[in-house]
């Protein structure tokens, strides 16, 4: 699935939003809902395929000059708290 944001007047498009999804984290029941929300908000989804893959995908997003990057992995069912992810952990200068 891809989605693009048009942000130039010459007809060219630039990807501005990307979401990294771990579709098998937790019990895996989050993936379809996340895909729908990502589409609703015009995020292109890239899915992790192995341990550590999100790090590679993050580096690729930086190299591609993506404006907004989100990452989703479900919690294990026994976990009851989330890390506060409302604040960015990295900013470009």
Reported as a single tens digit per residue, the pLDDT across 51-60 is 999 999 999 9
Closest CA to 73 of 51, 91, 89: 51
CB atoms near residue 6 (< 10 Å): 10
Listed by start position, the domains of the chain span 20-73
Both tokens of residue 4?
A: 């693009």
Over the stretch 34-77, which tens digit does the pLDDT of each residue have?
Answer: 999 999 999 999 999 999 999 999 999 999 999 999 998 876 55
Q: What percent of the chain has pLDDT over 90?
A: 47
Closest CA to 71 of 4, 23, 27: 23
CB atoms near residue 42 (< 10 Å): 13
């Amino acid at each position: 699935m891809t989605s693009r944001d048009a942000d130039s007047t010459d007809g060219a498009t630039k990807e501005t939003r990307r979401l990294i999804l771990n579709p098998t984290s937790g019990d895996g029941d989050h993936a379809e809902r996340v895909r729908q929300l990502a589409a609703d908000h015009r995020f292109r989804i890239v899915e992790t395929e192995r341990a550590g893959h999100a790090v590679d995908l993050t580096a690729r997003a930086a190299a591609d000059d993506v404006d907004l990057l989100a990452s989703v992995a479900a919690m294990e069912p026994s976990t009851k708290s989330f890390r506060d992810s409302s604040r960015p952990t990295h900013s470009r200068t």
